[in-house]
């Protein structure tokens, strides 16, 4: 097994979920292969950053220089993970993937992309359009549209600025401290307003806290509830992280 390095803390509820699902997923794969208890889990290092500090360092879309301080935080995290012996890395959050292109070639270990894995999961639904919901950085950036188009899926046009701001507030108040019933209701209402029930549309829960609104979702990257088809971006990501750690020969489960 390869040692996994996780960037966490953006925010902490999904960081916890990542660790849990990595361990559960590894257990399931080894159980299916007949291993006895205690079932193996891969070694994991988590570097948890302070979201209150990283939020203040966000740059401006299209202005690469404005992201220098934010990029420095990410590079520092990966340097520490690499120094701790991690062989494969991932960011347990969608938002910092806006900077994946700027840091990937500047570190010595591979970083598994949530963008690519979520787009692949969306393609498996056979839908031709995707509604991407997440933080303002994620919803306003071009990284998800590029990943989706590479899979033959057209993103729903960018939501109006007030809707983007409302989604960021919802995440800040109802999801970063753990999902609430009010958060789930508001999330579903947003999906409804923007065509999430359309039979050709899949909804990407592109903030790793958003899937926590559906505790009965199971561990699959794609799930359906209340007339919507969702991609749990964190689940798609974890599956690829496990593949990288355990090897594709152990990729069942």
Please tell me whether residues 132 and 207 are part of one structural domain: yes
- Give me the half-sphere count of Cα atoms (radius 13 Å) on the Cβ side of residue 99: 25
Residue-level pLDDT at 166: 97
Domain count, the chain: 2
Which domain range does residue 43 map to? 4-114+237-250
Mean pLDDT, all residues of the chain? 95
pLDDT digits (tens, 9 = 90+) for 81-105: 999 999 999 999 999 999 999 999 9
Confidence of residue 252 (pLDDT cuts 50, 70, 90): very low
pLDDT at 177 over 90: no
Please tell me whether residues 214 and 242 are part of one structural domain: no
Please tell me whether residues 109 and 16 are part of one structural domain: yes
Please tell me whether residues 121 and 168 are part of one structural domain: yes
Please tell me whether residues 11 and 96 are part of one structural domain: yes
Please tell me whether residues 88 and 195 are part of one structural domain: no
pLDDT digits (tens, 9 = 90+) for 219-249: 899 999 999 999 999 999 999 999 999 986 4
Mean pLDDT of 127-146: 97
Task: Give start and end residues of each alpha helix (H) in 90-142.
Answer: 100-103, 114-123, 136-140
Please tell me whether residues 218 and 144 are part of one structural domain: yes
pLDDT digits (tens, 9 = 90+) for 138-158: 999 999 999 999 999 999 999
Residue entry with tokens 């409804």: 192
Please tell me whether residues 152 and 124 are part of one structural domain: yes
Q: How far is CA 129 from the centre of its chain?
A: 19
Residue-level pLDDT at 248: 60
Please tell me whether residues 150 and 89 are part of one structural domain: no
State pTM to two decimals. 0.95
Phi, psi of 134 (to 5 degrees): -175, -155
Residue 225 bridge partners (DSSP): 228
Residue-level pLDDT at 251: 42
pLDDT at 31 over 50: yes
User: Residue 52 burial by CB count (10 A; 0-12/13-18/19+): exposed, middle or buried?
Assistant: exposed
Which residues are CB-contacts of 149 (< 8 A; sequence separation ≥ 6)? 155
Mean pLDDT of 10-18: 96
């Amino acid at each position: 097994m390869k040692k996994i390095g996780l960037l966490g803390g953006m925010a902490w509820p999904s960081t916890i979920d990542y660790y849990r699902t990595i361990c559960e997923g590894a257990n399931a794969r080894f159980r299916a292969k007949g291993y006895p208890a205690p079932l193996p889990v891969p070694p994991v290092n988590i570097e948890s950053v302070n979201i209150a500090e990283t939020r203040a360092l966000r740059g401006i879309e299209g202005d690469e220089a404005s992201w220098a301080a934010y990029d420095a935080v990410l590079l520092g995290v990966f340097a520490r993970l690499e120094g701790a012996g991690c062989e494969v890395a991932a960011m347990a959050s969608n938002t910092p993937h806006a900077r994946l292109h700027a840091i990937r070639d500047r570190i010595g270990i591979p970083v598994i992309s949530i963008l690519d894995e979520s787009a692949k999961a969306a393609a498996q639904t056979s839908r031709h359009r995707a509604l991407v919901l997440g933080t303002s950085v994620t919803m306003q950036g071009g990284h998800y549209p590029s990943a989706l188009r590479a899979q033959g899926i057209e993103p729903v046009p960018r939501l109006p600025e007030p809707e983007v701001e409302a989604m960021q507030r919802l995440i800040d108040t109802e999801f970063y401290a753990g999902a609430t019933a009010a958060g789930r209701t508001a999330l579903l209402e947003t999906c409804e307003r923007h065509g999430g029930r359309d039979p050709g549309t899949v909804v990407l829960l592109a903030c790793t806290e958003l899937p926590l609104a559906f505790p009965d979702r199971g561990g699959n990257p794609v799930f359906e509830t209340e007339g919507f088809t969702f991609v749990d971006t964190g689940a798609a990501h974890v599956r690829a992280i496990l593949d990288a750690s355990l090897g594709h020969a152990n990729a069942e489960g």
